[in-house]
Structure 1
Amino acid sequence: MNYKVLDKDKYYRKGVYRHFTEDCRCSVSITNKIDVTNLVKYSKKANTKFYVNFLYLLCKVLNSRDDYKIQYLYEEDKLIVFDKINPSHYIFHEDSETCTVVYSEYFEDYNKFYESCIADIDKGKETREYNFDSKNHINYFDASYISWISYESLNIELPDGHLYFLPIINWGKYKEENKKLRMPVSVRLNHAVADGYLVAKVFKLLEEEINKI
């Protein structure tokens, strides 16, 4: 894990950063339905898991801009940008109706990511422990699949997390709408490091990556 320290005085969003960390502490969250038709078709044709394929594209998008890789180090009072952020995602256990956190590393190489992520998921199925370990996974963003519904909106509250800057991403079931398969995706970012444009950009980039398949 590597990172660079941002100079707050030279940060291109310094005025916004000051306002939304001091005067108006808040986050911004948008839910949007994206067209995943091509990704579903690809997954079925290649006999691969849609979930892992989407997670790969999500990681690729979030690692494409420094804005999505920013975090604040409380103990050192540093604003940093990670070289890479990885997903912490979840396995749901039907028998206990609980979740286990799965930590996967993002690799640009699709095959390497896919194989590694599948192994992580299989390992996660073997335990019922939650195993949340933020101290050893500080460059991990939260990625959560709400598999039971295709929802219209979702809101994440972090009342004590006004200096938490990594993305929080949720998505639900895709369903057919006007002959297209559309999936709700929710993107939450801290307003100090992101505005509506940067949140909307996540959706645009995801659809661009899906259309490349």
Structure 2
Amino acid sequence: MKYLDIESWNRKELFRHFRTLEDPTFGLVADVDVSIIYQLAKEKNQSFFVRYLHACMKAINTVENLKYRLEDDMVVVYERINASATIARPDNTFGFSYIGYSESFEEFQLNFQKEKERILNSNDLFPPKYSLGCIHCSAIPWVSFSGHKEPFSGNKNDSVPQLAFGKIKEQNKKMLMPVAINVNHALVDGYHVGQFFGKFQQELDKID
């Protein structure tokens, strides 16, 4: 973890402008093609959710601006971004997880399983360990949405990207999944969101 030199940042004026807004966040929804990774998870008897979440985290960790977080008036740069995903319980409530990221799918899957077991065996909402060096994400597999809005605390310093994954729809023989992303515009622009979706699709198309 290190601090960004805001004065020498080429986005300095953009940063200052969006910091003046009451709500500096923006979000969008885009479809990703999950045909290949869905089949891969099925063939290997793996969780489709864990598979695409890992691909998502690999993409997140390649985009510099998605590693930036606001802490007071400073911009902190995290070396690694982890996943704080909602995990459902049998009674249809959920708990917030904190899943350590690893480039290795096997290690990431193990970290996920540990958090899932913790949540299923407790009534806790929040994980015992947490850092701003994460993303917040939820699966909403019941709805193939085209729009999405995240809750906003009213704190302009909220800068953890929020993602949601929707229900798959079939179109032109492809399996498409809507993905919503919400970010703080003081740190992230549409260009960086585009970088994320491009890299995410590359990871989803890999066969390993």
**Partner in structure 2 of residue 150 of structure 1:** 144
Which residue identity lines up with residue 197 of structure 1 in the other structure? Y
**Partner in structure 2 of residue 120 of structure 1:** 115
Task: Give SS of 1:121's match.
Answer: helix
Which residue identity lines up with residue 103 of structure 2 in the other structure? E
Task: Give SS of 2:8's match.
Answer: coil
Are 1:141 and 2:139 counterparts? no
Equivalent residue runs for 1:24-63 within 5 Å:
25-63=23-61
Deviation at 1:25, TM superposition (A): 4.2
> After superposition, what is the alpha-carbon deviation per residue over 1:102-152, rounded to whole angstroms, capped at 9, x for unaligned?
111001122111122122212211122212568x42222201111221111
Is the alpha carbon distance of 1:23 and 1:174 closer, same or farther for their aligned partners in structure 2, counting shifts above 3 Å? closer
CA distance in 1, matches of 2:206, 2:89: 34
CA distance in 2, matches of 1:102, 1:24: 29
Deviation at 1:46, TM superposition (A): 1.1
**Partner in structure 1 of residue 171 of structure 2:** 177
**Partner in structure 2 of residue 168 of structure 1:** 162
Query: Which consecutive residues of structure 2, in runs of 5 or more, have no partner in the other structure?
Result: none
> After superposition, what is the alpha-carbon deviation per residue over 1:44-68, rounded to whole angstroms, capped at 9, x for unaligned?
1111111001111111111112200
CA distance in 2, matches of 1:25, 1:176: 35
CA distance in 2, matches of 1:127, 1:173: 27
Task: Give SS of 2:201's match.
Answer: helix
Deviation at 1:172, TM superposition (A): 1.0
Q: How many percent of aligned residue pairs carry the same amino acid? A: 27
CA distance in 2, matches of 1:161, 1:201: 26
Match of 1:80 among 76, 82, 86: 76
Q: TM-score scaled by structure 1?
A: 0.90
CA distance in 1, matches of 2:69, 2:162: 13
CA distance in 2, matches of 1:100, 1:164: 20
CA distance in 2, matches of 1:162, 1:201: 24
Q: Which 4+ runs in 1 deviate beyond 3 A?
A: none
Aligned residues: 207
Which residue identity lines up with residue 184 of structure 1 in the other structure? P
Equivalent residue runs for 1:194-205 within 5 Å:
194-205=188-199
Q: TM-score scaled by structure 2?
A: 0.92
Equivalent residue runs for 1:85-96 within 5 Å:
85-95=81-91
